[in-house]
Amino acid sequence: MNKKVSVGVLISLLAMVCALTFTITMVLSIGLFDNKMNSTKSREAMYSKISEVDTYVRDNYVGELADQNLMDAMLKGYVSGMGDKYARYYTVEEWNSIESTFNGAVTGIGVAGKADTSGYIRVTKVYDGSPAKEAGIEKNDLIIAVDGQDVLAMGVTKAMALIQGDPGSKVKVDFQRDSVKNSVEIIRKSITVPSVEYQNLDGVGYIRIFEFNNTTASQFDYALNQLKSAGARSLIFDVRDNSGGLTKVTAEILDTLVPEGTILSAEYKSGEQKTLYTSGKSEETLPMTVIVNENTASAAEMFAAVLRDFGKAKLVGTGTYGKGVMQEYKQLSDGSGIDITVAYLVPPSGEKFNETGLKPDYKVTLSTQQQQQAHMLTVETDPQIKKAVEVVSAGNNAQGSANSSSSTPSSEGQGEEGQPEGGEGEGESSAPEGESSDGGEGQEAACGPRSWYAF
């Protein structure tokens, strides 16, 4: 039985719905307004306090003030106070340096180095054609002083920065080899640092990726093609001590390796999850393995996670760093810049790895001595590479529990040839310098703390 509703009742119901909608809208609007007002008041209070301090200092400070230094220090303090441990403010000079890094370039003497247990700089690689190589500096040397300043006194970070400078300028470097001290004057030069090196290990293609910058994708493609042309039947990707880099470059490389699907998603402040990169239908079909360690971070972790989640590769080594967040680099109007964390990285499995890292399928640890002298290990003496070769040679179908499988290091690795840490061993090659796009503005990157630096 159909019941008729009068026009008056319908009008009343409609009025009630409109009133309810209006009320809800007003409540939400008032809430947003209050939040904005509170935010505005907080900012006004902050600016007022800065102005109060500035006025007092300018009226009473006995010394001279450098406005640019004040501005830079204040902005560094602001970013530091955010609580984002990966956020940074960059001066104009620092921003230009960051852009150069994104493009794989450095101005200095042409070496890679890390902090040594002695407190000095341990040279882990000397680049071909570099001023350092011409000056006689070799891998494993200790840099002990820069321009007469002791490295131990000023610290490794400051010393590395001091070695860098304008092309054509000079820097004095004191280094030690086998207890013998040497001093050389070197003319700085702009150098494109290889981010990819490769080697054919008797049918196993070994590719070392040091970082993901604007030159890495083309270098990777070249290395992969060279190895396949040479008859590689399987592939090992080594991302140990890779602190990450540009997410778009990482995705570009992964696109050539995995089948069609989502490569990378990001979860933003609102909780929204957005697909950033997808792959096409073409894929690499050779068996693969990825070597990781505790310094494998951010974009490098994503690289390993994607290959794992697509079922393309097993992970060999130790647990990774656990930096599963992404930063956006923003250049400011005066040429300076900032980067802040904007999203969590989400691999295809959906399991975020921030603060937890990735667990290897085959855990292989290095002894303390091997860790300290990792740059001297060779393909023949590096237990993690040896295990990766074993796994990938079995077609990535090796049996055994992921974390219960543990390999015991069997060598202290004192050899000089074929070094996986980017050395100049027999049969190891650097890919040609790739073309780079402009770094900087609006770039999304996932970079963790570095364990080595080029300078």
What would the pLDDT profile of 265-323 be if each residue is shown by its tens digit?
A: 999 999 999 999 999 999 999 999 999 999 999 999 999 999 999 999 999 999 999 99
Please say whether the beta carbons of 455 and 106 come within 8 A.
Answer: yes
Residues 113 and 239 occupy one common structural domain: no
In eight-state DSSP terms, residue 374 is G
The answer on 440 and 411 residing in a single domain is: yes
Please check whether residues 298 and 165 belong to one and the same domain.
no
Considering the domain boundaries, does residue 77 fall inside one?
no
The whole-chain average pLDDT of the chain stands at 86
- Please say whether the beta carbons of 417 and 425 come within 8 A: yes
Question: Residue 422 sits in a domain of what CATH number?
Answer: 3.90.226.10
Reported as type and span, the H/E element at residue 375 is none
The answer to whether residue 2 scores a pLDDT higher than 60 is no
In terms of domains, do 266 and 166 share one?
no
Transcribe 264-289 into DSSP letters. EEEEETTS-EEEEEEE-S----S-EE
CA 190 to chain CA mean position, Å: 22
Give a yes or no: residue 82 inside a domain.
Answer: no
Q: Any idea what the CATH number is for the domain that residue 186 is in?
A: 2.30.42.10
The reported pTM is 0.80
Residue 67 included in any domain: no
User: What pLDDT, on the 0 to 100 scale, is given for residue 411?
Assistant: 32
Residues 185 and 225 in one domain: no
Alpha-carbon gap, residue 341 to 326, rounded angstroms = 6
Provide the residue range defining the domain that includes 155: 106-191
Over residues 205-218, the mean pLDDT reads 97
Judgement on whether residues 127 and 160 belong to the same structural domain of the protein: yes
Q: Does residue 111 surpass a pLDDT of 50?
A: yes
Residue 440, domain member (yes or no): yes
Specify the DSSP class assigned to residue 376: G
Which tokens in the block code for residue 270? 């609102």
Identify whether residues 241 and 382 lie together within a single domain: yes
Residues 37, 129: one domain? no
Q: What is the pLDDT of residues 60-77, one digit of tens each?
A: 999 999 999 999 999 999
Residue 70 forms part of a structural domain: no
**Of the candidates 257, 163, 164, which has an alpha carbon nearest to the alpha carbon of residue 209?**
257
Last residue of a domain, one of 140, 162, 191: 191
Q: Verify that 6 and 155 share a domain, yes or no.
A: no
Q: Is residue 425 part of a domain?
A: yes
DSSP H helical ranges for 116-275: 131-135, 151-154, 156-163, 216-229, 247-255
Nearest Cα residue to 119 out of 152, 141, 145: 152
Statement to judge: residues 187 and 121 lie in one domain: yes
Q: Are residues 115 and 231 in the same domain?
A: no
The answer to whether residue 274 sits within a structural domain is yes
What is the count of structural domains for the chain?
A: 3
- Could you give the percent of the chain with pLDDT greater than 90? 71
Query: Is residue 333 included in any domain, yes or no?
Result: yes
Contact status, residue 452 vs residue 423, Cβ threshold 8 Å: no
**Encoded amino acid at 99, one letter:** E
Taking Cα atoms as reference points, which of 236, 210, 238, 242 lies closest to residue 104? 210
More confident residue, 439 or 337: 337
Res. 401: pLDDT tops 70: no
Report d(CA 268, CA 343) in Å as an integer: 5
pLDDT of residue 372: 83
Same domain, 125 and 244: no
Among 191, 214, 240, the domain boundary falls at 191
Q: In whole angstroms, what is the distance from residue 288 CA to residue 377 CA? A: 22
Burial of 396 (0-12, 13-18, 19+ CB in 10 A): middle
Among 137, 168, 191, which residue terminates a domain? 191
